[in-house]
Structure 1
Amino acid sequence: MADKKAYFYVLKCLDGTFYAGYTVDLTRRLAEHNQGIGAKYTRPKMRRPLKMIHSETFATKSEAMQAEAAFKKLNRKQKEQYLRIG
């Protein structure tokens, strides 16, 4: 399992907010979020459906987690610039 790639991803919620996370399976994780069994933040129906708007591939889970943590420290404007939207 050490050779398995890890991903940092950003979802856009129905209410316009962003959710950032990491996973080893983007398709499965998006499905979990949209089924309401993902993260606590994405469970409310007002936030679903969610759309994957960004993902990055990393060699390790640790690197993906570091990218997620760095993204979460940004303010909304910085996040939009990072994602090149808005």
Structure 2
Amino acid sequence: MTETAWRLYILRTARGVLYTGITTDVTRRFALHQNGKGAKSLRGKGPLEMLFHTAAGDRASASRLEYRVKQLTRQQKLRLVAEQPPCLSDWLRLVKGD
């Protein structure tokens, strides 16, 4: 049995608030958020913009990465979006050393 591939994503609301989440289907999850059926915190906050998404491994790994990204400052998250690193785990290790 193969494990489901999870992805981490970052969205921006119309007011510029950044939202971080995980999913197995970014396109489906984004559509749910856009239609007010995703996270309650995003309802009525559209239009939404997908800024970043990347592979996050299995469910446990994705949850750990999500927690680590949510601990970043807004500026660090914007830097992550700007840099679009190929490996999020490596990038987070480098940022921690800042």
Q: TM-score, normalised by structure 1?
A: 0.87
Larger radius of gyration: 2
Task: Give the root-mean-square deviation of aligned CA atoms.
Answer: 1.5
For residue 80 of structure 2, what is the aligned residue in structure 1?
82
- Report deviation, 1:58: 2.5
The percentage of aligned residue pairs carrying the same residue is 34
Query: Equivalent residue for 1:51?
Result: 49
Give the letter for the 2:51 counterpart.
I
1:27 matched to which residue of 2? 27
* Alpha-carbon distance in structure 2 between the residues aligned to 1:83 and 1:11: 10
Unaligned runs of 5+ in 2: 84-98
**What does the per-residue CA deviation read over 1:22-64, in whole Å, with 9 as the maximum and x for residues that have no partner?**
0001111001000101101101x2x211111100113201111
Q: Which residue is equivalent to 1:10? A: 10
Distance (whole Å) between structure 2 residues aligned to residue 59 and residue 78 of structure 1: 22
User: What is the letter of the counterpart of residue 73 of structure 1?
Assistant: Q
1:2, CA displacement in angstroms? 3.9
Rounded to whole Å, the distance in 1 between the matches of 2:15 and 2:41 is 12
Indicate the residue corresponding to 2:70 in structure 1: 72
